[in-house]
């Protein structure tokens, strides 16, 4: 109880000094987010989907995806863009599968549900599959999606609306968790997708600094893709492509009404493996490849592009690197009392996350209210395990360049990239 009295007795300046990590690195992000969220809730008017004369191509790249492929392709026929007289080409790329995916795809092609079927004899990674698929696309807009992603019937129509603006090069869909009830890990990710991804991208979109179009569900103007040389071979190919488009001058938008669901890791171990791969991209993509965003002498320099990189580097890289320093500082000056301070910090984060959870619901994002009970668990896992994973991934990438040996991109493909 004396610890509680001590914390309550501190004035504002003392609290800021005690919780400097949170007040300097975390609070600004939440304050900006709160202001933008409030503005969205008060003044945002959704863009209503209308019939469009833009034609569509859908690229589905899969490796050993025989089970979900048929359901995914058949669901495409339910999209309202077709009912409104739209044209949609379906391109399936088999990325060196060893199961029966190619047989399923051939059957779908015979049934007239797949327009173009392509195959890579050896697994070459998603970027190679997408680029091969693009060579067969003739639609004005290309939707790149994962085979295990499912879509609301009006999702494609909602995305097409944004391309009425000729400066828009790509639109990210609003993705939720499909296997939500499978485990505690998937429920926690359900909260993360609502707060960290959907709400975060809505805020970034409003500020004009959206830096990623999800590889699981994104729409691209085909001419924009061709202009930037299609996809590069990267572990974080979706972030890389988005930044290439931004650098070329295209606007990137988020369509909160274009809802889709995707399969997420079902155990903590597989979640950690996924996030190690994602978080290595923080260095590979934003710090190495696009550090030129800070150079005003370059012809491609744009202030919003610089701010989008700053947003990533400060609130993800610096935040992770500074966390162990803060813990060491706490124990050095306060000893065992540091545990109380950390507990108070977690309590504060829990309250903020709870507000963010309801904010996501208030602005119409995919936020199942039954998940509210898991917000405390999400807070603890996010601050402890996932932040540690991010720190490890960043250090690992800086020191060992581990992304270049990640099995997500086959080694024979990555070796060719290294030789260029």
Read off the pLDDT of residues 232-251 as tens digits, 9 standing for 90 and up: 988 889 999 999 999 999 99
Cα 378 off chain centre by = 18
Q: How confident is the model at residue 50 (pLDDT cuts 50, 70, 90)?
A: low
For residue 1, the model assigns a pLDDT of: 47
Matching residue, tokens 């790149």: 144
Of 2-16, 349-363, 367-381, least confident by mean pLDDT is 2-16
The rounded distance, in Å, linking the Cα atoms of 223 and 195 is: 32
The rounded distance, in Å, linking the Cα atoms of 313 and 293 is: 12
| Percent of the chain with pLDDT strictly greater than 90 | 70
Mean pLDDT of the chain: 90
For residue 236, the model assigns a pLDDT of: 85
**Domain spans in the chain, listed from the N-terminal domain onward:** 56-268
Q: What is the mean pLDDT of residues 255-277?
A: 95
| Percent of the chain with pLDDT strictly greater than 70 | 95
| 173 compared with 50, residue with greater pLDDT | 173
The C-alpha angle with vertex 332 and arms to 326 and 333, in degrees rounded to 5, equals 95
Q: What is the mean pLDDT of residues 92-105?
A: 96
Q: How confident is the model at residue 138 (pLDDT cuts 50, 70, 90)?
A: very high
- Residue 24 has what DSSP assignment? I
Of 35-49, 51-65, 267-281, least confident by mean pLDDT is 35-49
Q: How confident is the model at residue 11 (pLDDT cuts 50, 70, 90)?
A: confident
* Residue 70 clears pLDDT 60, i.e. is over it: yes
Phi, psi (rounded to 5 degrees) for 115: -85, -40
Q: Are 172 and 252 a contacting pair, CB within 8 Å?
A: yes
For residue 80, the model assigns a pLDDT of: 94
Q: What is the mean pLDDT of residues 355-384?
A: 89
Q: Are 311 and 210 a contacting pair, CB within 8 Å?
A: no
For residue 7, the model assigns a pLDDT of: 73
Q: Are 49 and 157 a contacting pair, CB within 8 Å?
A: yes
- Give me the sheet containing 217-221, strands edge to edge: 116-120, 88-95, 56-62, 141-146, 217-221, 168-177, 251-262, 150-151
Architecture of domain 56-268: Alpha-Beta Complex (3.90)
Read off the pLDDT of residues 179-214 as tens digits, 9 standing for 90 and up: 999 999 999 999 999 999 999 999 999 999 999 999
Q: What is the mean pLDDT of residues 371-397?
A: 94
Identify the CA nearest to 249 among candidates 173, 291, 171, 304.
Answer: 304
Read off the pLDDT of residues 322-342 as tens digits, 9 standing for 90 and up: 999 999 999 998 898 899 899
The rounded distance, in Å, linking the Cα atoms of 287 and 267 is: 30
Of 46-55, 58-67, 333-342, 346-355, least confident by mean pLDDT is 46-55
For residue 419, the model assigns a pLDDT of: 40
């Amino acid at each position: 109880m004396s610890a509680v009295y001590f914390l309550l007795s501190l004035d504002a300046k003392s609290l800021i000094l005690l919780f400097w990590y949170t007040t300097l690195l975390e609070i600004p992000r939440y304050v900006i987010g709160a202001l933008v969220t409030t503005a969205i809730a008060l003044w945002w008017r959704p863009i209503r989907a209308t019939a469009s004369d833009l034609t569509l191509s859908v690229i589905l790249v899969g490796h050993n995806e025989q089970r979900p492929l048929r359901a995914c392709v058949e669901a495409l026929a339910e999209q309202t863009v077709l009912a409104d007289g739209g044209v949609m080409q379906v391109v399936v790329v088999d990325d060196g599968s060893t199961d029966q995916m190619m047989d399923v795809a051939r059957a779908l092609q015979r049934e007239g549900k797949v327009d173009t079927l392509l195959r890579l004899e050896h697994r070459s990674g998603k970027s190679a599959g997408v680029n091969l698929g693009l060579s067969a696309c003739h639609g004005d807009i290309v939707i790149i999606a994962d085979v295990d992603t499912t879509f609301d019937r009006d999702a494609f129509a909602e995305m097409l609306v944004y391309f009425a603006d000729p400066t828009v090069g790509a639109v990210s869909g609003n993705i939720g968790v499909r296997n939500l009830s499978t485990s505690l890990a998937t429920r926690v990710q359900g909260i993360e997708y609502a707060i960290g991804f959907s709400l975060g991208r809505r805020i970034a979109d409003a500020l004009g600094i959206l830096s990623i179009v999800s590889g699981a569900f994104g729409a691209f103007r085909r001419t924009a893709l061709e202009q930037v040389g299609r996809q590069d071979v990267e572990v974080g190919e979706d972030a890389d492509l988005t930044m290439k488009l931004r650098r070329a001058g295209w606007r990137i938008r988020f369509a909160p009404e274009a809802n889709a669901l995707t399969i997420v890791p079902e155990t903590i171990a597989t979640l950690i493996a996924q996030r190690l791969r994602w978080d290595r991209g923080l260095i590979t993509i934003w710090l190495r490849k696009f550090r030129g965003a800070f150079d005003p002498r370059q012809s491609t320099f744009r202030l919003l592009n610089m701010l989008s990189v700053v947003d990533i580097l400060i609130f993800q890289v610096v935040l992770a690197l500074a966390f162990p320093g803060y813990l060491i500082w706490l124990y050095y000056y306060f000893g065992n009392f540091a545990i109380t301070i950390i507990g108070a910090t977690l309590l504060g984060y829990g309250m903020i996350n709870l507000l963010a959870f309801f904010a996501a619901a208030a602005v119409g994002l995919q936020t199942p209210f039954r998940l509210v009970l898991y917000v405390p668990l999400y807070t603890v896992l996010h601050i402890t395990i996932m932040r540690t994973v991010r720190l490890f991934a960043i250090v690992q990438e800086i020191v060992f360049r581990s992304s270049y040996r990640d099995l997500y991109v086959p080694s024979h493909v990555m070796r060719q990239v290294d030789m260029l």
